Each structure stands twice: as structure tokens, then as C-alpha cells.
A and B are shown apart, each in its own frame.
Chain A
Amino acid sequence: MVIKSTVKSITLAFMFLLCLTPLWANETHGESSENHEKKEFNVNEMIMHHIKDAHEWHLWGPDHGGTSIYLPIILIDGGLKTFSSSHFYHGEHKSAVDHKTHEEVSYVAGVGPATGYAMYHEKIYKLENGGLSFEDGHVHGAVKPFDMSITKNVVSLFVGAILILLIMGSVARFYKKNGAVAPKGIAKFLEPIVVMVRDNIAKENIDHHKYHKFVPYLLTIFFFIFINNLLGMIPFFPGGANLTGNITVTMVLAIFTLLITVFSGNKNYWKHIFATPGVPVALLPIMIPIEVVGILTKPFALMIRLFANMSAGHIIILALISIIFINQNAAWGALSVPMALFISVLELLVAFLQAFLFALLSALFIGAAVEEAHH
């Protein structure tokens, strides 16, 4: 048993190292570069690069010249324009001087079908007069075409959705084939979770005559977050994208909860917002704005909670692994790997907990919206 768990830890540690091989390779690459200038390891940049969206999916090797999957770029800019992101990543390197800080900033201009566009920090801009101008570290004055690209997060989104469909589909098939029997296999594992969402999340927070209607939504949101959280913890393709730690994704989920809350709100719910019982009429001008803001703050908190928790998890693990690269010594792995392993295990719990919390709080808000008057 001890040997088994040791093997497991070593495998996990290896997996972490594997995920960071590109970084390490980058270091050696830097060292062996022509000018022999030792490129300093920038933890902040590395972490931000990992938790942000990208137009490529880096598999291994150095940043430039390593192996990547180049994802399609879809731009809506006077018509639909689609091409591979390799036209940026293997594009023309350009540099400009920042107007304020007077530092040299480098960006890439697209080649081939991407001509006329440039990419700076994974954002696509339309070139003006053949270049970009910068002010205070930001692109100044350039038009951003509407970017509908299949980015790393979008691919991760597809993978997550397909995974959910496959897993839950096999569970559904089991019941379709066998009818209402005792579950076996994957159904045995997932049924308690489904029942937990139905009983502990939906039934407990929503009026028991109305909760049936909301169970599918809560199940979908729970499994969507749970599976994508777990997928984000896998350090290599097709995992590792920080999807549930992306504010856009959490915002969409929070908006769905908001829409469902607002549209299923009954008379009693709106009465509590616009004419809170027991509040003097004179206070209503103050109370109504507070209540209206309250409608929005609830999903806003959902959005921030999931985003912050998942991003923080990724940041901590990356930061711990970075200890090795900051010190430029593999021996630091003895400290950083166990710590990263510990946080990873904690993240498994967080992955479940955040999915549970999101669904639970959604159920709570919906429950408050459909509650009947008790007085």
C-alpha cells in the first residue's frame, strides 16, 4: 500500500514536471541563445500566460518552435474571416516604442490570410498604417475586430461538454436498457451525485411542489462546473485550460442563474422587492434600489466566487512549481512538488465544493424567487 501510494505520488510529480517541461526548455533555450544573456524567469508572466486564454494549445517544447496545436481564428470584420492561428504564431515579429514609458514593446503581425492583423498578448488588433502604437503598456487607438476564435478555452469547453454527454449518456443508456433497477458501473457512481443535487440542493432550497422544474438546470450547472474544474486540473492536453477560472465563463453561468431567477420570480418575490412588506412607504425610495441591486449582486457573487477560487488554485500550483525555476535548482523540487501535490489534492475538493456551492446558491436564489407568501 505504501509502495503503491509512493508510486502514485512520483507519477503525479512527474506529471507536474511534464506540464512544465516547456518552461524548463525555454530556460535552456534562453541560456543557449546567441548573446548568452541569461533570461530571467518571470513567474508573473508565466502564471498569467497559463491561466489566460490563448489561440494555440501549447503541448511541449519551447515557447517558440515547440509543439503546439494552432487553433482556428474566426474574425468578424466586414465579413467572416477564418484562418489558422499559426499565421500569428509564425508571423512577423515587430516592435514599437511605447509613447509613455518609452520602452520597446514587441508584437506579432499576421502573415498570409492574417495579413493586416496583429496579435499582442493574445488579443487581435487591426493594423493601422502597418503597425500598432502603444501607450502605457496598452495598445492605443487600434480597432479590435470581433474575435469569435476557437480559443484554448473554447476547445476545453467543447471537450468538457462532450465528456459530460458521454459520461451522463452512458448512465442514461444504462437506465433505458435496464429500467428502474439497482445501478451498476458508472451509474452506481454518479447516481448518488444526481440524487444529491436533486435532494440536497433542489428539494431542500426550493418549494417542494416546484423544485422538479429546476432540477435539470441545477444538474447541468453542477456537472458542467464539476467536470470542467476537474478537466482544468489535468496538467496536459486536453486538460489544463483555466475554463472555470475564466471570468467570461463564470459570468455566463451566473447570467443563466440570474435569468432563471428573474423569469421564475412570482408575485410574492417582486412584491418583496418593490413593496417590501412591513417597510414604511417613506423608506421605499431607498429600499427599492437596494433590492434591485440585490438581484444583481447575488449572481455577481457567484461569478466572482467561482472565478477567484479556480484561478487561485491554478495560480498556487503554478507558483509552487515555480520555486524550482526561480532557484534554478531541481533540488527545490523536494519542497515544491509535495506542496504542489498537497494543493492539487485540495483542489480536487475545491473542484467539487465550488460546483456544489454554485448549484446550491443558484437553488437558493431560485427558491427565494418562487417562494409563496407565508403571511
Chain B
Amino acid sequence: MELILPDMGLLIWTSIVFVLLLFILTKFIWKPILSSVNEREKNISDSLALAEKTKAEMKELQAQNESLLKEARAERDKIVKEAHELAAKMVDDAKTNAKSESAKIIASAHQAIEMEKAAAMSELKSHVAALSIEIAEKIVKTELSSDDKQKALASKLAEDINLN
């Protein structure tokens, strides 16, 4: 029976000790321990979140780099292509230019030749005419002893010159 009856003295001592313990532990021990543990837990979770964020950022950056590289490559390809095109065009232009120039030169050469030829021809004609007149004079001088003979000879000579 004694075992289950509370003892007032022990009750008072236990209450005093427990209240003191509760006070001291709460103020000087549980607070620093719990705040440190909480702080550390917060640090860890923050660090983890940061790592995750950094990872995502890195990934994004990498993707960005990739796209940038791709763009640069495309740009380069475009530039090279354009350069090729330009070069080809220039060559083409040069070719056509040269062709037209040469054609022009040829044409003008033809023209000059034609003109020279014509000039030479006319000169020749005038020479031939002068020569013919000279010859005719001589012939006429000799042949034009009679009227008939003169006339026949003249026409015959003229015909020959025209055929030439």
C-alpha cells in the first residue's frame, strides 16, 4: 500500500528539481542546441536548393552555348556560302565582261577592218580608175584614130573594169 501512496516530501523535491531543470535546460541548453540544429538543417536544405538551381542554370547555360555555337556555325556557313557566291559571281561577271569586251573589240576590229577594206577598196578603185584613165588615155591616144574604133574600145574597157 505504501508503494502507491505519494510522499509529500519527495513530491516537493521532485517538483523543485523538475522546474529548475526545465528552466535551465530550456534557457541554456535546448535553445542553443535546437537553434544550431535548425540552422544547420536550413543551411543544408538551402545548399541543396542552391546546388539544384546552379545545376539547372548550368544546363541552361550549356544549352545557350550550344545554340550560340550553332548560330555561329550557321553564320559562318552563310558567310562562306555568300563569299563563294560572290566569288563565283565576280568570276562570271568578269567572264561576261571579258566576253562582251572581246566581242566589242572584235566587232570594232571587224568594223575597222571593214572600213579599212572599204577605204582600201575605194582607194584601189580610184587608183584603178586613174590607172584605167591613164591606160585609156594611152589607148585612146593610140586607138582614137577613128571614131568607131574609139567607141568600141571605150565600151569594151568600161565593161571589163565593172566586172572587176
A355 is an interface residue with CB less than 8 A from chain B: no
Residue on B nearest A150 in the bound complex, by CB: B13
From known contacts A175-B32, A175-B36, infer whether A147 and B17 are also in contact, taking CB-CB under 8 Å.
Answer: no
Q: Within B38-73, which residues are at the interface with A (CB < 8 Å)?
A: 39-40, 43
Interface residues of A in 163-192 (CB under 8 A from B): 164-165, 168-169, 171-172, 175-176, 179-182, 191
Which parts of B1-25 form the interface with A (CB within 8 Å)? 2-15, 17-18, 20-22, 24-25
Contact partner of A51 (CB less than 8 A), chosen from B3, B10, B20, B33, is B3
Instruction: Please classify how large the interface on chain B is, using the bins under 10, 10 to 19, 20 to 34, 35 or more.
Output: 20 to 34
B152 is an interface residue with CB less than 8 A from chain A:
no
Contact A220 B21 (CB under 8 A): yes
- Complex interface: chain B residues within 8 A of A165 (CB): 21, 24-25, 29
Find out whether the CB atom of B25 lies under 8 angstroms from the CB atom of A247: no
Residues of chain A contacted by B3 (CB below 8 angstroms): 48, 51-52, 247, 311
Partner of B25 from the list A74, A168, A191, A248 (CB cut-off 8 Å) is: A168
Minimum Cβ distance to chain B for residue A249 (Å): 5
Cα of A153 to Cα of B14 in the assembled complex, Å? 9
For A153, what are the chain B residues with a Cβ–Cβ distance below 8 Å? 10
One of A168, A191, A246 near B10 (C-beta < 8 A): A246
Q: How far is the CB of A277 from chain B (nearest CB, A)?
A: 35
CB 8 Å contact bits of A109-150 with B (1 = contact, 0 = none): 000000000000101000000000000000000000011111
CB distance from A68 to the nearest CB of B (A): 19
A-B pairs with beta carbons under 8 A, tally: 116
Residues of A within 8 A of B40 (CB): 180-182
A161 within 8 A of B: yes
Instruction: List which A183-223 residues lie within 8 A (CB) of chain B.
Output: 191, 194-195, 198, 215-217, 219-220, 223
On whether A52 and B2 interact (CB within 8 A), knowing A172-B33, A181-B40, A253-B18, the answer reads yes
- Residue in B11, B28, B29, B40 with the greatest tally of chain A CB atoms within 10 Å: B29
> Does A157 contact B17, Cβ atoms closer than 8 Å?
yes
Q: Is B122 an interface residue (CB 8 A)?
A: no
- The reply on B26 being an interface residue by CB < 8 A is yes
Q: Which 9 A-B pairs have the closest CB atoms?
A: A175-B36, A180-B40, A180-B39, A216-B26, A252-B14, A248-B6, A172-B29, A248-B10, A216-B30
What would be 28 A-B contacts, judged by CB atoms less than 8 Å apart?
Answer: A53-B10, A147-B8, A153-B10, A154-B9, A161-B21, A165-B21, A175-B33, A175-B36, A176-B32, A180-B36, A180-B39, A182-B40, A191-B33, A194-B33, A195-B37, A198-B34, A215-B30, A215-B34, A216-B31, A219-B25, A223-B25, A247-B4, A247-B5, A247-B6, A248-B7, A248-B10, A251-B6, A252-B14
